Amino acid sequence: MSNGQITTRYIKLLQSIHKEGGVPCERLPDLFFPEDLGSTELRATATKAAKALCHSCPILDACYEYAVETDQRHGIWGGTSPEER
Ligand code: SF4
């Protein structure tokens, strides 16, 4: 996928977020990148919490598809960790 295609996909994802009036990860962005946290326990707790928030997100499926199609290798996207995508 080219950078232009990735940008187009990202813009579509942002439009979906805007249409829904926001998504849970906007309020706690650090939680959705647990690999940046300092301890194994913190990473596990953040991962579980982020996934739970994703499951209440109105664009869960679109977010997951974006992450897979654009090969996102960091963070929780669409309720999944990098290892699960
Ligand atoms: S599904 Fe995507 S957009 Fe929704 S809260 Fe999770 S990471 Fe954020």
User: What is the pTM (predicted TM-score) of this model?
Assistant: 0.92
In this structure, what token pair is assigned to residue 15? 């439009």
> How many folded domains does the chain comprise?
1
Nearest atom in ligand 1 to 63's CA: 2
Pick from 10, 12, 23, 47 the residue to mutate for probing ligand 1's pocket: most ligand atoms within 8 Å of its CB. Answer: 23
Measure the CA–CA gap between 85 and 69, rounded to whole angstroms.
Answer: 10
pLDDT values of the chain reduced to their tens digit, one per residue, 85 residues:
899 999 999 999 999 999 999 999 999 999 999 999 999 999 999 999 999 999 999 999 999 999 999 999 999 999 999 999 9
d(CA 48, CA 6) in angstroms, rounded, equals: 27
For residue 24, report the distance from its CA to the centre of ligand 1, in Å.
6
- CA 32 to ligand 1: nearest atom: 7
Pick the closest to residue 2 from 75, 69, 78 (CA basis).
Answer: 69
Domain that holds residue 65: 3-84
Q: Are 46 and 31 in contact (CB under 8 A)?
A: yes
